[in-house]
Structure 1
Protein backbone atom coordinates (compact mmCIF):
# COMPACT_ATOMS: atom_id res chain seq x y z
CA UNK A 1 0.00 0.00 0.00
CA UNK A 2 1.30 3.45 -0.94
CA UNK A 3 0.07 6.95 -0.22
CA UNK A 4 1.01 9.89 -2.43
CA UNK A 5 0.08 13.55 -2.00
CA UNK A 6 0.28 15.77 -5.07
CA UNK A 7 0.90 19.36 -4.02
CA UNK A 8 0.29 20.82 -7.48
CA UNK A 9 -2.69 18.60 -8.26
CA UNK A 10 -4.12 19.09 -4.74
CA UNK A 11 -4.92 15.40 -4.58
CA UNK A 12 -4.16 12.31 -2.52
CA UNK A 13 -3.76 8.91 -4.15
CA UNK A 14 -3.87 5.62 -2.27
CA UNK A 15 -2.46 2.61 -4.13
CA UNK A 16 -3.70 -0.69 -2.73
CA UNK A 17 -1.74 -2.97 -5.08
CA UNK A 18 0.39 -2.74 -8.21
CA UNK A 19 -2.21 -4.10 -10.64
CA UNK A 20 -2.94 -1.69 -13.49
CA UNK A 21 -6.22 0.19 -13.33
CA UNK A 22 -8.68 -0.80 -16.04
CA UNK A 23 -11.38 1.73 -15.22
CA UNK A 24 -12.23 4.51 -12.77
CA UNK A 25 -15.49 5.49 -11.15
CA UNK A 26 -16.36 8.70 -9.32
CA UNK A 27 -18.15 7.30 -6.26
CA UNK A 28 -18.72 10.69 -4.64
CA UNK A 29 -17.87 14.24 -5.77
CA UNK A 30 -14.07 14.40 -6.03
CA UNK A 31 -13.51 10.78 -4.94
CA UNK A 32 -12.43 8.35 -7.64
CA UNK A 33 -11.94 4.62 -7.25
CA UNK A 34 -9.77 2.64 -9.69
CA UNK A 35 -10.56 -0.98 -10.56
CA UNK A 36 -8.52 -3.70 -12.25
CA UNK A 37 -9.80 -5.92 -15.07
CA UNK A 38 -11.48 -8.22 -12.52
CA UNK A 39 -13.31 -5.29 -10.84
CA UNK A 40 -11.12 -5.36 -7.74
CA UNK A 41 -10.26 -1.98 -6.19
CA UNK A 42 -6.61 -1.11 -6.84
CA UNK A 43 -6.58 2.52 -5.74
CA UNK A 44 -8.49 5.62 -4.72
CA UNK A 45 -7.97 9.32 -5.38
CA UNK A 46 -9.28 12.24 -3.37
CA UNK A 47 -9.38 15.51 -5.28
CA UNK A 48 -9.43 19.01 -3.73
CA UNK A 49 -7.44 17.78 -0.74
CA UNK A 50 -6.81 21.25 0.70
CA UNK A 51 -10.57 21.80 0.97
CA UNK A 52 -11.11 18.47 2.73
CA UNK A 53 -8.40 18.62 5.40
CA UNK A 54 -6.83 21.51 7.30
Structure 2
Protein backbone atom coordinates (compact mmCIF):
# COMPACT_ATOMS: atom_id res chain seq x y z
CA UNK A 1 0.00 0.00 0.00
CA UNK A 2 1.21 3.51 -0.83
CA UNK A 3 -0.13 6.78 0.51
CA UNK A 4 0.81 10.03 -1.21
CA UNK A 5 -0.38 13.57 -0.63
CA UNK A 6 0.10 16.16 -3.38
CA UNK A 7 -0.23 19.60 -1.78
CA UNK A 8 -0.15 21.41 -5.14
CA UNK A 9 -3.50 19.90 -6.17
CA UNK A 10 -4.65 18.97 -2.62
CA UNK A 11 -5.21 15.29 -3.43
CA UNK A 12 -4.53 12.31 -1.18
CA UNK A 13 -3.98 9.09 -3.12
CA UNK A 14 -4.05 5.66 -1.51
CA UNK A 15 -2.82 2.86 -3.76
CA UNK A 16 -3.95 -0.51 -2.45
CA UNK A 17 -2.63 -2.62 -5.31
CA UNK A 18 -0.24 -1.66 -8.10
CA UNK A 19 -2.22 -2.82 -11.13
CA UNK A 20 -3.76 -1.18 -14.19
CA UNK A 21 -6.85 0.89 -13.43
CA UNK A 22 -9.73 -0.17 -15.63
CA UNK A 23 -12.29 2.36 -14.40
CA UNK A 24 -12.79 5.09 -11.80
CA UNK A 25 -16.03 5.78 -9.95
CA UNK A 26 -17.04 8.87 -7.94
CA UNK A 27 -20.20 7.76 -6.11
CA UNK A 28 -19.48 10.24 -3.33
CA UNK A 29 -18.42 13.71 -4.53
CA UNK A 30 -14.68 14.16 -4.01
CA UNK A 31 -13.95 10.49 -3.30
CA UNK A 32 -12.80 8.51 -6.33
CA UNK A 33 -12.49 4.74 -6.28
CA UNK A 34 -10.14 3.18 -8.83
CA UNK A 35 -11.16 -0.29 -9.99
CA UNK A 36 -9.27 -3.08 -11.73
CA UNK A 37 -10.66 -5.26 -14.52
CA UNK A 38 -12.43 -7.47 -11.94
CA UNK A 39 -14.10 -4.41 -10.35
CA UNK A 40 -11.93 -4.66 -7.21
CA UNK A 41 -11.03 -1.38 -5.50
CA UNK A 42 -7.29 -0.87 -6.06
CA UNK A 43 -7.01 2.81 -5.21
CA UNK A 44 -8.74 5.72 -3.53
CA UNK A 45 -8.32 9.42 -4.31
CA UNK A 46 -9.56 12.09 -1.94
CA UNK A 47 -9.98 15.47 -3.61
CA UNK A 48 -9.67 18.67 -1.54
CA UNK A 49 -7.98 16.51 1.09
CA UNK A 50 -7.04 19.40 3.38
CA UNK A 51 -10.76 20.16 3.83
CA UNK A 52 -11.63 16.51 4.59
CA UNK A 53 -8.65 15.40 6.68
CA UNK A 54 -7.17 17.24 9.68
CA UNK A 55 -3.58 17.05 8.42
CA UNK A 56 -3.17 15.14 5.15
CA UNK A 57 0.63 15.47 5.33
CA UNK A 58 0.77 13.50 8.60
CA UNK A 59 -1.17 10.32 7.91
CA UNK A 60 -1.16 7.67 10.64
CA UNK A 61 -2.07 4.06 10.12
CA UNK A 62 -2.33 0.99 12.30
CA UNK A 63 -1.90 -2.67 11.54
CA UNK A 64 -4.25 -4.71 13.67
CA UNK A 65 -2.85 -7.93 15.13
CA UNK A 66 -4.05 -11.16 13.55
CA UNK A 67 -6.65 -13.08 15.46
CA UNK A 68 -6.58 -16.84 15.35
TM-score range, shorter chain: over 0.9
Please report the TM-score for the alignment, with normalisation by the length of structure 1: 0.92
Q: CA RMSD in A?
A: 0.8
Query: Runs of at least 4 residues of structure 1 off by over 4 A?
Result: none
Greater per-residue strand proportion: 1
Structure with larger RCO (C-alpha < 8 A, sep 6+): 1
Please report the TM-score for the alignment, with normalisation by the length of structure 2: 0.75
**Structure 2, gaps ≥5 residues long:** 55-68
Q: Which residue of 1 aligns with 2:15?
A: 15
**Structure 1, gaps ≥5 residues long:** none
1:27 shift after superposition:
2.0
Number of residues of Structure 1 aligned to a counterpart in Structure 2? 54
